[in-house]
């Protein structure tokens, strides 16, 4: 009896009978060899299951990544390729299920809402100028004027002290006034 994947050597039985095979060392296929031999066939399988070259490549890479992480045990299987094939089939199925669920969610969401936001022209120009300020000044002004947040709420949202939020508001207003050439009463 020959054990697949196991090197053996012959020993004589003590009574002088027929030689007996004794396992010497377990020999497993190298990961690289299995990768080279099975990548293309698994890619074809994943492509047929998913219908997408990109999805197929992702699925096969995920399967080999899983195999690599468990190679010590996977390589001892009689057919590590069968394990890989099962992983590819399962991952391709999961990907299809997930993409179907995402498509359904997008359809439900888009059916009930319009995602396009439009602002009247003078307002759009104003907000364009606000967006041209520094990142923090822009964020502080938008939170203050659009969301009607208090200084403490702005500070909490931006993760800074209230004094820092006041500085961002002050500098943002000053920069905006300069850009829009607004005279300030103060």
Q: Given pLDDT bands bounded at 50, 70 and 90, which one contains residue 16?
A: low
φ and ψ at residue 14, rounded to 5 degrees? -60, -30
6 DSSP β-pair partners: 26
| Domains observed in the chain | 31-112 (no CATH), 121-180 (1.10.10.10)
Is the pLDDT reported for residue 153 higher than 70? yes
pLDDT at 133: 92
Q: Which residue, 133, 134, 155, 132, is CA-closest to 143?
A: 155
Average pLDDT over residues 58-79: 92
Summarised one tens digit per residue, pLDDT across range 22-68 is 444 444 678 999 999 999 999 999 998 888 899 999 999 999 999 99
Is the pLDDT reported for residue 184 higher than 70? no
């Amino acid at each position: 009896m020959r054990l697949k994947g196991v090197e053996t050597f012959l020993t004589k039985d003590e009574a002088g009978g027929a030689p007996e095979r004794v396992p010497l060392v377990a020999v497993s296929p190298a990961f690289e060899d299995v990768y080279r031999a099975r990548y293309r066939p698994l890619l074809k399988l994943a492509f047929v299951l998913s219908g997408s070259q990109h999805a197929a490549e992702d699925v096969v890479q995920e399967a080999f990544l899983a195999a690599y992480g468990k190679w010590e045990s996977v390589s001892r299987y009689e057919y590590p390729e069968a394990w890989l094939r099962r992983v590819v089939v399962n991952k391709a199925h999961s990907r299809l299920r997930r993409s179907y669920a995402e498509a359904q969610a997008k359809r439900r969401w888009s059916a009930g809402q319009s995602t396009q936001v439009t602002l009247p022209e003078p307002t759009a120009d104003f907000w364009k100028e606000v967006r041209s300020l520094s990142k923090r000044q822009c964020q502080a002004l938008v939170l203050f004027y659009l969301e009607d947040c208090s200084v403490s709420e702005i500070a909490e949202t931006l993760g800074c002290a209230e004094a820092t939020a006041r500085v961002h508001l002050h500098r943002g207003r000053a920069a905006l006034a300069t850009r829009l050439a607004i005279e300030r009463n103060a």
